[in-house]
A = this chain, B = another copy of it.
Amino acid sequence: MEEEPRRLRADAERNRRRLLDAATEIFCERGLEVGVAEIAQHAGVGRGTLFRNFPSKEHLIAAIVVERMNESITRGQAALEAADPGQALFDLIEQSVGRQQTDRALFDALADTWLANNEIRTAHAELMGVLDALVTRAQQAGAVRDDVSAVDVLMMVKGVCEACASFQQVDQAVAMRQLDLVRAAISPAGAARPLRGRPPTIADLERAEETGAKTAPTRRAG
């Protein structure tokens, strides 16, 4: 069961690649709720082609999410070798949630709906193993308080990712501040480190919804 003897035709292979690329880009950018029509269109193929390569949307999602998770696993294993265990952990987290929510698909998959999928669940378990090792190592180095678990950390990071994703386009700085706060939460030092950026105001949340809003009065309280 290594290689399917069934060889794909050249154009078929190319289209499959295009679909995977398009799905990765769109799912990671805008979440798993995006319709299949958009992915097919962005890949430049018809919807039928999508469903021939992947029996269902779930299969496509699983393929991509597992891929992302495996990549995170690799990065995590590399981080296990890093000099500073604490910094390695935080760098990894920041990479994941970092550049314009690159791994939104990954965090979207961190819900019971998708964890019910066996492939995703397996990859997730492995990822958790690595994360657990990273957290433990960081704890031994005194960079993370001893009473938090990998699941504690993962849920906080997922929380940050979800909260930021609730707004069409939150400034990257807000996400970074949130990660700094997570760091403060799970480090023994607490508020030792300053937070990046400036404290966000209500305007930073409202900026995104300029589009189509009916110019609310924004009544000030107090």
Residues of A whose CB lies within 8 Å of any CB of B are 73, 110-112, 115-116, 118, 121-122, 125-130, 132-133, 145, 147-149, 151-152, 155-156, 158-164, 166-168, 174, 177-178, 181-182, 184-192, 194-195, 199-202, 204-206, 208-209, 212-214, 216-222
Number of copies: 2
Cα-based distance from A221 to B174 in the complex (angstroms): 34
Least CB separation from A148: chain B residue: B199
Q: Point out the residues of chain B lying under 8 angstroms from A205, CB to CB.
A: 112, 115, 151
Task: Name the distance in Å between A182's Cβ and chain B's nearest Cβ.
Answer: 7
CB distance from A163 to the nearest CB of B (A): 4
Secondary structure at chain A's binding surface: helix, strand, loop or mixed? Answer: helix
- By beta carbon, the residue of chain B nearest A159 is B159
Can you report 7 A-B residue pairs in the complex whose CB atoms are below 8 A from each other? A115-B209, A126-B219, A130-B221, A148-B199, A156-B181, A162-B163, A187-B191
Please state if A181 and B185 are interface contacts (CB–CB under 8 Å).
Answer: yes
**What are the residues of chain B within 8 A of A190 when measuring CB–CB?**
184, 187-192
Chain B residues, CB < 8 A from A216: 118, 121-122
Chain B residues near A181 (CB, 8 Å)?
148, 152, 156, 182, 185-186
A128 touches B221 (CB 8 A): yes
Chain B residues contacting A110 (CB-CB under 8 Å) are: 166
B-chain residues with CB within 8 Å of residue A218 when the two chains form the complex: 121-122, 125
